[in-house]
Amino acid sequence: MALPSHLTLEIVTPDRPLAVETVDEVEIPGAEGYLGVLPGHTPLLVALQVGALRYRKGDKETFLSVAFGFAEVTPDRVRILADTAERAEEIDIRRAEAAVERAREQLARAVDVDFERARLALLKSMARLQVASRARVRGSAGL
């Protein structure tokens, strides 16, 4: 059996579908680290971590911020079932920067802090900023 030449990428959250596209490559923020997926990849199920999801279609790269959920990988398909996901162009940078500051302030307090919640808020906000800045750099490179 011949290897597929492309992947069908599906990205879904509980709120909405974000993408159904034919792509050449996907990079997933897995719980054990980032995972690159090319057509013909061995089937597996991956737990998602907070981070930047990247996919490439030809020379065009697209970035999304994702947090938790699962990715199902088959030789010709990647299904992302994320708790939250946001496209780079949807990210409000000022709001994400403010969230980073709030989380850092909470983590700096010695008492009455839910450290895990503050840590996750910090991770999510930093991932959102990373995705937004990568998209801006890519967008300005073509000018």
User: CA torsion angle for 68, 72, 77, 78 (degrees, to 10)?
Assistant: 10
> What superfamily in CATH does domain 91-141 come from?
ATP synthase delta/epsilon subunit, C-terminal domain (1.20.5.440)
Mean pLDDT of all residues in 108-126: 79
- Model confidence pLDDT, tens digit, residues 99-114: 888 888 887 876 666 7
CATH of the structural domain 7-88, one choice from 2.60.15.10, 3.40.30.10, 2.70.160.11, 2.60.120.10: 2.60.15.10
Whole-prediction pTM: 0.79
The three-class DSSP label of residue 79 is strand
Span(s) in the chain for CATH 1.20.5.440:
91-141
The pLDDT tens digits of the residues spanning 70-102 come to 999 999 999 999 999 999 888 888 988 998 888
Q: How far is CA 114 from the centre of its chain?
A: 25
